[in-house]
Each structure stands twice: as C-alpha cells, then as structure tokens.
C-alpha cells in the first residue's frame, strides 16, 4: 500500500511557488477517500489477466507541518477496506459469495528538508518511513490485505521551478528516489513529475502528474501468483493522472483526482480516484 499511496498523496495546496516545505508553525491538512475497483490485473510479465472483481476503499488523513522554515513533518494515516464482489455462473446461480475486510492501513511518517530556494527554483530532500501497521493477511483466504507487513524507507530528491508561459504562471517539479524494503521485498526506484497552474481568478489549481515505480528485483519473495495485489513484491507501474483543487475559502479547498496505470507488473489494471477537503491555516 505504501507504494500506491505515495503516488497520489503528494499534495501541495494552492501555492504555485516552487517550494514544498511549510513555513514555521504553518500546516496543510487533508481528509480524503481513495478507491479503485478492478476485474483484471497486470501479471508479473506485464500481460493482462482477469481476476474476480475486487475493490479498495481507503479513508485517510494527510498532514504537513512546518517545524521551522526548512524542515517539514509529514504524516499519512489510512483506514483500508478490501472487498470482493459475488462471483456467479452465467446461469445466475451463486458460485462464490462476496467478502470484505477492513482495518488500519500502513501509516507513513516523513520529514522534508529544504536545501535551497532562489530565483524561482527549489531543492529539497525527503525521507518517508512506511510502518507495517496494516494487516498483511485478512479474510477467509488471507488475501484481503490492508498492508504489506514490512518496514520501508523512501529517500527522495526533489527539484522544482516556477515558470511563465505568456501571462500564465506555472510550476514544475521532478522527484527521484529509492525505496528500501524489508522482509524479502525488493527495493524500488521511484520517479515523479508534476506541473500545475491556477485559473478562474486563481481559484482552481490544475495539476498533471506522471509517476513510475521500477523494482530492483533483489528480494526473495515470489510475486507470480499475487493477482494484482498492490501489496505484492516486484510491483511496477507507469502511471498518468491529474488533479483539480478548488479554493472554497482562503483556508479550505476541495480536490478531485484520478490516475490510470499505462503499464505495470503485479498490479490491478483500473483507474483510481480520490477526493477530499483540505485545510491550510
């Protein structure tokens, strides 16, 4: 779960300047939901196979707080529900009943340090710790997971710049990092790109994102029979998505985002969506 959550949880409020650390004593807080439902998945060789229709629905809290003008603390707390729809024969007779399982998911705690900021450029380093607070086995067959059961550390380097096209102001950000995982899971390379601009009298922020995770395949766990579980080993993805964030008031915003895996391995093949309300005092 840590991997997919990090693909959509990098939220930066309504500020278009190329900086992502918070000012001292200032914060950004969001309560939201994230969901997907899939009846097919990418196999460990990148092919597409069908699976029983499964879904995930995650209620979450995300927060950033400026410890000082250079150091920002980051936290993400999810509650995850995993479900599978009833499977039936073509005649309509029930074959396998539906099932669901829910629990606290894998918590992420992190810190970001602003290295430099000048002339529209910003450079920072972040470290995120993935805690095994979810359940790596659940339901009647143990496959209803709300976590991967391992502790991981994701170290990332970020660079961003504010720029202008005509009269319109934009920003762009690129992040690269390595996720070191435990308990037989392979380490991973992460890369993210993002750009955005504000329209409608700077009330609406438009974001476009692309993300990838590539496995180093240096773990000992087998992923060949995981049927798309986002908690499996050697998950790989190239993801494209976007987000709309509308400023309801000077401190409150509403966001809606979506993403889709263009290619992958050991991952559900379905769009993911999220929405939530953020507060930035």
The predicted pLDDT at position 262 comes to 96
CATH number for the region 2-279 comes to 2.40.160.40
pLDDT at residue 156 is higher than 80 = yes
- What pLDDT digit, counting tens, does each position of 90-123 carry? 666 667 778 999 999 999 999 999 999 888 899 9
Compute the Cα dihedral for 41, 44, 45, 51 and give only its sign.
Answer: negative
pLDDT averaged over every residue in the chain: 87
pLDDT at residue 231 is higher than 80 = no
pLDDT at residue 5 is higher than 80 = no
The predicted pLDDT at position 93 comes to 66
How confident is the model over 143-149, as a mean pLDDT? Answer: 89
Q: By CB neighbour count within 10 A (0-12 exposed, 13-18 middle, 19+ buried), where does 184 fall?
A: exposed
The proportion of the chain whose per-residue pLDDT surpasses 70, expressed as a percent, equals 88
How confident is the model over 210-220, as a mean pLDDT? Answer: 93
The predicted pLDDT at position 153 comes to 97
Structure tokens at 263: 């290619």
Half-sphere exposure of 160 (CA within 13 A, CB side): 26
CA distances to 20, 33, 106 from 270, in Å = 30, 17, 22
Structure tokens at 45: 């060789």
CA distance 137 to 44: 21
The predicted pLDDT at position 10 comes to 37
**What one-character-per-residue DSSP string does 226-262 give?**
-TT-TTSTT-EEEEEEEEEEEESSSSEEEEEEEEEEE
Nearest CA to 241 among 213, 270, 272, 265? 272
CA distance 62 to 70: 19
The answer to whether the beta carbons of residues 107 and 95 sit under 8 Å apart is: no
The predicted pLDDT at position 230 comes to 61
Residues 6+ apart with CB under 8 A from 71: 21, 111, 112, 113, 114
What is this structure's pTM?
0.89
**What one-character-per-residue DSSP string does the chain give?**
-HHHHHHH----TT--SS--SPPTT-EEEEEEEEEEEEEEEE-TTS-EEEEEEEEEEEEEEEEEEESSSSEEEEEEEEEEEEEEPPEE-TTS-EEE--EEEEEE---EEEEEEEEEEETTEEEEEEEEEE---S-SS-STTS---S--S--EEEEEEEEEEEEEETTEEEEEEEEEEEEEE-TTPPPEEEEEEEEEEEETTTTEEEEEEEEEEEE----S---TT-TT-TTSTT-EEEEEEEEEEEESSSSEEEEEEEEEEEEEESEE-S-EEEEEEEE--
Compute the Cα dihedral for 171, 204, 242, 136 and give only its sign.
Answer: positive
CA distance 253 to 255: 7
């Amino acid at each position: 779960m840590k991997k997919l959550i990090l693909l959509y949880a990098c939220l930066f409020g309504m500020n278009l300047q190329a900086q992502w650390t918070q000012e001292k004593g200032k914060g950004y807080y969001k309560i939201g939901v994230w969901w997907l439902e899939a009846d097919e998945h990418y196999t460990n060789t990148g092919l597409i196979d069908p699976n029983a229709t499964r879904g995930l629905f995650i209620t979450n809290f995300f927060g950033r707080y400026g410890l000082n003008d250079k150091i920002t603390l980051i936290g993400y707390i999810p509650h995850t529900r995993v479900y599978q729809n009833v499977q039936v024969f073509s005649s309509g007779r029930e074959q396998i009943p539906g099932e669901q399982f829910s629990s606290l998911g894998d918590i992420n705690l992190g810190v970001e340090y602003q290295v430099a900021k000048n002339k529209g450029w910003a450079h920072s380093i972040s470290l995120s710790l993935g805690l095994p607070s979810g359940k790596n086995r659940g339901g009647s067959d143990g496959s209803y997971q709300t976590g991967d059961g391992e502790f991981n550390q994701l170290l990332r380097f970020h660079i961003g710049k504010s720029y202008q096209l005509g009269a319109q102001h934009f920003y762009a950000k690129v992040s690269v990092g390595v996720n070191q995982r435990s308990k037989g899971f392979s380490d991973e390379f992460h890369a993210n790109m993002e750009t955005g601009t504000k329209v409608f009298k700077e009330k609406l922020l438009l974001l476009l994102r692309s993300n990838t995770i590539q496995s180093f395949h240096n773990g000992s766990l087998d992923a060949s029979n995981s049927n798309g579980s986002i908690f499996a080993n050697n998950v790989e993805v190239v993801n494209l998505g976007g987000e709309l964030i509308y400023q309801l008031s000077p401190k409150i915003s509403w966001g809606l985002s979506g993403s889709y895996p263009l290619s992958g391995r050991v991952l559900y093949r379905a769009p993911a969506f999220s929405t939530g309300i953020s507060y930035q005092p």
